[in-house]
Amino acid sequence: MHIPRLHPDTIEEVKQRADIVDVISEQVVLRKRGKDHVGLCPFHSEKSPSFTVSQTKQMYYCFGCQAGGNAIKFLMELEKRSFAEVVLDLARRYQVSVRTLEPEQRQELQRQLSLREQLYEVLAAAAQFYQHALRYNGQKRPSEAPLVEASSGEKALQYLQSVRQLKEETIQQFGIGYAPAGWETLYRYLVEDKRYPVQLVEKAGLIKARKEASGYYDVFRDRVIIPIHDVLGRVIGFGGRSLGDEQPKYLNSPETEVFIKGKTLFALDKAKAGISQQDQAVVVEGYFDAIALHAAGINNAIASLGTALSIEQVRQVLRYTDSKQLVLNFDADKAGTNAAQRAIGEIAELAYKGEVQLKILNLPDGKDADEYLQGREPEDYRQLLANAPLWLDWQIQQMTKERDLKQAADFQQVSGQMLKLLKNIANSDTLNYYISHCAEILSLGDTRLISLRVENLLTQIAPTRAFRKPTPVIKQQPVERQQSLDKSESNLLPIAEALLLQIYLHYPVYRGAIVDVLDERDLQFSLSHHRFLWRQILEISSGIDDDLISMVQDRCLEFPEEMSLVSHLFHLNEKTQKEIISRHDKLIQAATACIELVLREKRYRHLCEVFEQIDPEAEPEKWESYCKIFYQEKQQLQELDRQRQFSLAELL
């Protein structure tokens, strides 16, 4: 669903109503300590609590990993959702009316939200129906239970327990059920018993209109039913596995307002915590593969719903893993290999660029994960997982599989396939590694041929890739000035800019002095994330005092990548607070001097380059003019050096 930009009043009202202690205490055990609450940080592993929540400031901060923000930021980071999604959920929870910046879109947004909520409700009712049908054995049914034929679910339950070897706790964990064989059983329950509008049930993908007669029939009949949940655990669709000869063997819900196959991954709601803990996601082909892995304690497994993985699906998973490691687990036979190639789909581009660490796991004997685990221990699977090759290595293995490189035809075909693969690798370090790797394979054990193979590959890749030798360093300024530049740019500049921003955010009384010195010296923040934060500050109306941090933080939450780089600036430790209070004037002077020093050193370096190109005999006046400018810049640099005598690095 497209979410229009939310009105600031809606965001502010959500902030006012959503108490941060209530929101966070649902995810973290908090204990009162003084005026604040403390607990174990949910964003990193720790034994002693360093995670604090301030009810008065409506903010949280971890002194261990520096995570911090308000209730909205907390849910965005923990559940890996967008700013608008979190605000809308909190608005529904705290009964805040939703406004958008485009008044004409408000009614449509409310309609979409209302429809989605109704779909979630009817899908949840259907899930309960299927679960009851699996268990009903002809006993007297409760008044609220659906009407199902006696013993109709026994065959499905036996299939789950005997064939799939699933324990009761796993069946309940995944909410597995059964769709009775009747054509209108679910229809009668939802439309006639529960009184849901027939159009709503149809939009949920649960029933279809008859083509040759009036009325509707159930989409799922005589099938084991597996609910499909979104990342928040809400039922959005179903997968049905036939118990007889009915085709297709597996049937998914049609796409609806809440269920889009290409944007959904089965069991992600149950696997997201495991993916974060293991720093790895395992993608399998089928529902029962994922279910079997979770039952075996391998809780970072998800399934792709039988489609090629989309970039959107992959990015959704990668939110939960820092290493960006994704393992595709498919059968080792030809069908499994083809399935792996199909599943890779659009993500090949990400893999070539190195944006995802893609691995391929082929299980032996042509087994899928479910079959493999039925005869072995979970540790056997974990060992295979640990040894799974990177995607590029797997691709090369497939190229050379059952090929005799001593035969000219096979050698030519394999070398051509390798060349095509190498041309797609974007990262130069990765490319160099695989050029050497492929050259070794093509050398057939003769080390004398490796350099020749490398040269041949490079020659063939050259037309599509620009290989350039390292550019020689141009002689620049004296060594001491170059060292000063390196020191200020790599170490002190980030500290200086961060310090100015912190003083401005936390101490309103010093804001005028900072603005004056920046304007007077015509200084700008050099680092992009600091420029971003300063731009957000300036765009907020003047006259804001205590609420500035909150307002800037709200604005920054819509930019999660930039926010991750500046979030620590919204918090001060005790040492920094004492330093700012005791010598704010010297800190501002030293920080601005450092910023100006970097800018002037860049100009100084440029002058050196220009000065070297001037011939004093051919252009004596120009040479003399640059000498004066050169001397003035040097004097100014020495003065700025004196202004930053004490170390900013000791402060932050």
- Give me the residue spans of the domains in the chain: 8-101, 105-259, 262-388, 399-461, 479-650
The matching CATH number, chosen from 2.60.120.310, 3.40.1360.10, 3.40.50.300, 3.40.190.10, for 262-388 is: 3.40.1360.10
**Predicted local confidence at residue 612, as pLDDT:** 66
DSSP state of 366: G
Judge whether residue 482 has pLDDT over 70.
no
Cα–Cα distance, 556 to 564 (Å, whole number):
9
Exposure string over 197-226, b if 16+ CB within 10 A, otherwise e: eeebbbbbbbbeeeeeeeebbbbbbbbbbb
Q: What is the mean pLDDT of residues 275-287?
A: 90
Each residue's pLDDT tens digit, 285-335: 889 999 999 999 999 999 988 777 888 788 788 877 878 899 999 766 666
The matching CATH number, chosen from 1.10.3720.10, 3.40.190.10, 3.90.980.10, 3.40.50.300, for 105-259 is: 3.90.980.10
Q: What is the mean pLDDT of residues 178-197?
A: 92
The per-residue pLDDT of the chain, averaged, comes to 81
Cα–Cα distance, 286 to 288 (Å, whole number):
6
The first and second tokens of residue 402, run together, are 């059952």
Each residue's pLDDT tens digit, 625-646: 666 666 566 666 666 665 554 4
Q: In the structure, what pLDDT confidence band is assigned to residue 241 with cuts at 50, 70 and 90?
A: very high
- CATH for the stretch 8-101: 3.90.580.10
Cα–Cα distance, 46 to 178 (Å, whole number):
43
**Predicted local confidence at residue 605, as pLDDT:** 67
Specify the range with the lowest mean pLDDT, choosing from 8-12, 124-128, 224-228, 326-330: 8-12
Which of 382-391, 493-502, 535-544, 566-575 is the most confident on average?
382-391
Phi and psi angles of residue 252, each rounded to the nearest 5 degrees, phi first: -100, 155
Cα–Cα distance, 86 to 98 (Å, whole number):
13
Judge whether residue 281 has pLDDT over 50.
yes
**Predicted local confidence at residue 476, as pLDDT:** 36
Give the list of residues 6+ apart from residue 332 with CB closer than 8 angstroms, or none. 362, 363, 364, 365, 366, 367
Q: Which of 124, 51, 113, 59 is nearest to 87 (CA)?
A: 113
**Predicted local confidence at residue 467, as pLDDT:** 39
The first and second tokens of residue 133, run together, are 């049908």
Give the list of residues 6+ apart from residue 324 with CB closer than 8 angstroms, or none. 318, 355, 356, 357
More confident residue, 15 or 441: 441
Judge whether residue 456 has pLDDT over 80.
yes
Q: What is the mean pLDDT of residues 501-529?
A: 84
**Predicted local confidence at residue 636, as pLDDT:** 64
**Predicted local confidence at residue 225, as pLDDT:** 97
Q: Which of 208, 184, 166, 209 is nearest to 129 (CA)?
A: 184
Specify the range with the lowest mean pLDDT, choosing from 261-275, 335-349, 477-491, 628-642: 477-491
Cα–Cα distance, 224 to 146 (Å, whole number):
17
In contact, 324 and 355? CB cutoff 8 Å:
yes
pTM over 0.75: no
Q: In the structure, what pLDDT confidence band is assigned to residue 219 with cuts at 50, 70 and 90?
A: very high
Report the percentage of the chain scoring pLDDT > 90.
29
* Three-class secondary structure assignment of 177-237: EEECCCCCHHHHHHHHHCCCCHHHHHHCCCEEECCCCCCEEECCCCEEEEEEECCCCCEEE
Judge whether residue 378 has pLDDT over 80.
yes
Beta strands 216-218 and 250-252: pairing type? unpaired
Q: What is the mean pLDDT of residues 12-20?
A: 84
Judge whether residue 370 has pLDDT over 60.
yes
In contact, 184 and 217? CB cutoff 8 Å:
yes
More confident residue, 443 or 244: 443
* Three-class secondary structure assignment of 47-113: CCCCEEEECCCCEEEECCCCCEECHHHHHHHHHCCCHHHHHHHHHHHCCCCCCECCHHHHHHHHHHH
More confident residue, 129 or 339: 129
Q: In the structure, what pLDDT confidence band is assigned to residue 145 with cuts at 50, 70 and 90?
A: low
* Greatest C-alpha distance within the chain: 110
**Predicted local confidence at residue 166, as pLDDT:** 95
